[in-house]
Amino acid sequence: MAVPATLWQPGMRITDIRLAAKDYQAGQLVISFTTLTSYTTPVVFPQPFPVAPIMNLEIVSGAGSTGRFEARPISITPSGFTLFILTTDAAQAAGTWSGVPVHWTARMPT
């Protein structure tokens, strides 16, 4: 489990938990849907951040209709976000996904 990094303050003690802390978390979702132009699903971070993190998403496939879609995070909070997948073609043609991996990363703002 990832533990968010501590913003160090004068007088803080060094502990094993603080030394193991990370300022980022990452994960993978496997997405399937049938005949849609957009898709959403909530994602909960393994460990909440102290503030809403900076997010990156990547569709890890170019096969079939996935090339016409993009993924982005919406409604980002310290405890999670909503994965939003939408078609990018002008015709708004519906697509079908079966077991498509989408990777996400979240990090503390600097």
Reported as a single tens digit per residue, the pLDDT across 20-49 is 666 889 999 999 999 999 999 999 999 899
Q: What are phi and psi of 48, to 5 degrees?
A: -60, 145
Domain ranges of the chain: 23-107
Q: Is a pLDDT exceeding 80 seen at residue 70?
A: yes
């007088």: which residue's tokens? 11
23-107: CATH number:
2.60.40.2080
pTM of this structure: 0.78
Average the pLDDT over 9-18 and give the result: 73
92 vs 71 pLDDT, higher one:
71
Rounded distance, CA 7 to CA 34, Å?
A: 44
Q: What is the pLDDT of residue 109?
A: 87
The total number of residues shown for the chain amounts to 110
